[in-house]
Chain A
């Protein structure tokens, strides 16, 4: 769609929860078979992605929970990794999660063929650990900037309309559902809405929000870059790592069945370790802490969507998502790529050009 998109304004005070009755209507109409979205768990103190077929169960739904537990991309991958099987799914998630799903689809781990992605403006989420400790209960979370995760505070794509259908909302802005493509337009129609409203107000708000975040991102990640430059300083940032590899397991993009760093061949013989210890004077054990993080960065920084799942999963407080963001912002821009933003653009490392990066002077990343 080349001209400015139009949207359907929804009369509701509830923000993202305004989506719930609309999703129910689409289910009842039968144009979709199921909805995948976060639901309040029965214990009432957490959230999980649930595939809902019965519209009545949607009452428990919270399209925009205050924490990120399992990411939407990962949930969608577990559902469609072996092909979607023709089940038409409305998948509701944050922009970063949807970008994860899009990256995974490029890597053959998600099948978007019958999936309508629905995204929404995201104010950020609170750190999982604080939430789990009970410091912030669902009802008490106000999405104030100081409560959201550091990676969310520098997210410039929090309102990225990467879904087929996107919900714009926020302070002083009436919720507006905007179809971004054919599929989104069909879903909107199934909800009984028409895209007749003007979206210029939403676009202006988003553009100023994103600009502000972009500046903050540059500034904070710039500070981190200075503080972690060189192997020694980087090691300081990774100091508290306990080698649990949780960051890798929680990452939606890390999709290998067995990580190379969990394979025996990475292990060294006692003689080799001794040799290294002799050469360097001392050896931290187990010895692959730095290699693990660098290796993962090497594999994943081009596909990283800065969702922050790794940092949430870290029990030791390593600012791993911020370190990834710091690296991937540069590696991705070297390939003129932003993970999960363009469904047509192929992932850089599987795109082979005879003459790439030629004639580009100066620092690339």
Chain B
């Protein structure tokens, strides 16, 4: 079948016609190979213009369409829709950008017209070599994988699991909470780690590995719920912190009981030291003052004869209950001292605590038990996971939110969410809130039955040319390329490929091309442009 190319030049109001001589341009294009009609139009993207163009495609029986107008970044989808309305495969349309790349940047009217003609001729040379590409859609996978089975993982899972949505919870810990394992619609993978992630929102393939076995899970979205942990004594690195009567405040104050039992009789001194490790991590964890005060209150009740003191810096107890808790501590007679911990030393039965006061002078105090209130840091393994799934991390190693206020549970990767303290130190309330927010966002964005349009312009490997060097695999950000061990060549997974073209550039053998942007198509376009 002979090509019937229609060329439509948009004047873009006056944007193009001011600088390009449309009346001179149109005859320059007539007679180009395959061209059956050249016409100009006042504003092709207007409603009337779109209808006109769709009608022209039908009426003229066009096999290819060239739209000479603005940047495809602005109106490519518009004119692809027009093609569909006119019964033409949208990949048989090519835009020539004679506004941004021509009218707006070329001062001489004659030159601009000449250049526009070249660009349009190049687009004609390209479009006749384009092939129709099928539009492909897949149903988005509504299932969700949650990485981490702590508080945030449990809350998120319980909100999302239902008859239409399966939720997978992975945790490196083999024993997961009953609250999780007993949930309907939740599949737990204890003792597993995420090994690799391929794909994109609505269509992820997650590889899980546990001791000796691996499995693949297909989901539509991911939630990072890896949580946080207390900094250890070693990580804080205070001199003398190995002293036997120095301890890090545990999650549950009850665990302090053995230390209380070992305290001398009489009026033993117990000192809480705030902001332990704060200078090293470089941020205020914000949740520790309140935890410390609650532990002090517990201690005042459990060991009423103990003399409590507190070495603190700024006290951070926002919210409804914070102030009450603080006043309570003052009420039980705890001695408050401002100071920055510098060193610890076991001297006889007591620990000497050295600190720097606000004015820079050095102070010292002694206590029978020193409890360090630790900074909160990302959980073990969070860094490795962040690298595997490819989300951005902040300097402290927490997952970075897409926006701290507006998108607090989204990450830099669409379809990967973060909840709880994986994105920063949180108390239980904030953890639950963020987890509920992540669940709500997924419920809204990944409704069961949602369809995803797959990229039509995917890349393809010519097996005869591929040498199996796998350069393409190292540059593919979607993990869309596999190495076929039998054929010893690479192969593109077309449901994952997004057509970015990285692999084309990386292939030394020119064995890869992107459909709709093949070497031949681009080469002919360039040849025409520079003729």
Mark A residues whose CB is within 8 Å of B.
82, 107-109, 255-258, 260, 263, 265, 272, 275, 299, 349-350, 352
Contact = CB atoms under 8 A, between A and B. Distances in A.
B475 A255 contact: no
A257 B520 contact: no
Contact of A265 (B464, B471, B506, B519): B519
Interface string B466-477: 111111001100
A349 B527 CA distance: 27
B488 A256 contact: no
Contact of A350 (B467, B471, B488): B471
B506 A350 contact: yes
Interface string B450-486: 0000000000000011111111001100000000000
A220 to B, nearest CB: 29
A256 B465 contact: yes
A147 B465 CA distance: 40
Contacts of B264: none
Nearest to A346: B474
A257 B471 CA distance: 15
Given A265-B520, A275-B531, A299-B508, A257 B465 contact: yes
B509 interface: yes
Interface of B: 464-471, 474-475, 488, 506, 508-510, 519-520, 523, 527, 531
A350 B468 contact: no
Given A265-B520, A350-B506, A257 B469 contact: no
Contacts of A299: 508
A258 B509 contact: yes
Contacts of A265: 519-520, 523
A257 B464 contact: yes
Main secondary structure of the interface of A (DSSP, over half): loop
Task: List the 8 closest pairs (A to B, CB-CB), nearest first.
Answer: A108-B469, A256-B509, A260-B510, A107-B469, A350-B471, A108-B470, A350-B474, A265-B520
18 contacts: A107-B508, A108-B467, A108-B468, A108-B469, A108-B471, A109-B467, A257-B465, A258-B464, A258-B465, A260-B509, A260-B510, A265-B520, A272-B527, A350-B471, A350-B474, A350-B475, A350-B506, A352-B475
A74 to B, nearest CB: 14
A256 B519 CA distance: 17
B509 to A, nearest CB: 4
Nearest to A272: B527
A300 to B, nearest CB: 9
Nearest to A266: B523
B322 to A, nearest CB: 41
Main secondary structure of the interface of B (DSSP, over half): loop
Contact of A257 (B474, B475, B509): B509
Given A107-B471, A108-B467, 9 more contacts: A109-B469, A255-B469, A255-B508, A257-B467, A258-B509, A265-B523, A299-B508, A350-B474, A352-B475
B523 to A, nearest CB: 7
B460 to A, nearest CB: 15
Contacts of B470: 108
A353 to B, nearest CB: 12
Nearest to A299: B508
A65 to B, nearest CB: 29
A349 B506 contact: yes
B195 to A, nearest CB: 22
Nearest to A263: B510
Contacts of B527: 272
Contacts of B531: 275
Contacts of A255: 467, 469, 508
A101 B185 CA distance: 54
A165 B279 CA distance: 49
Nearest to B510: A260
Nearest to B509: A256
Contacts of B475: 350, 352
A82 B469 CA distance: 11
Nearest to B470: A108
A352 B506 CA distance: 11
A188 to B, nearest CB: 33
A13 to B, nearest CB: 44
A265 B470 CA distance: 24
A109 B467 CA distance: 8
A352 B503 CA distance: 12
B465 A82 contact: no
Nearest to A268: B527
Contacts of A272: 527
B505 to A, nearest CB: 9
A343 to B, nearest CB: 16
A287 B204 CA distance: 49
A257 B468 CA distance: 10
Nearest to B471: A350
Nearest to A258: B465
Residue of B470, B506, B508 with most partner-chain A CB within 10 A: B508
Nearest to B523: A265
B126 to A, nearest CB: 15
Contacts of A257: 464-467, 509
Contacts of A258: 464-465, 509
Nearest to A108: B469
Nearest to B483: A108
Contacts of B508: 107, 255-256, 299
Contacts of A256: 465, 467, 508-510
A25 B475 CA distance: 45
Contacts of A349: 506
B482 to A, nearest CB: 14
A331 B159 CA distance: 56
A255 B510 CA distance: 12
A276 to B, nearest CB: 9
B481 to A, nearest CB: 13
Nearest to B531: A275
B67 to A, nearest CB: 26
A266 to B, nearest CB: 9
B529 to A, nearest CB: 13
Contacts of B469: 107-109, 255
B183 to A, nearest CB: 41
A247 B111 CA distance: 44
A275 B520 CA distance: 19
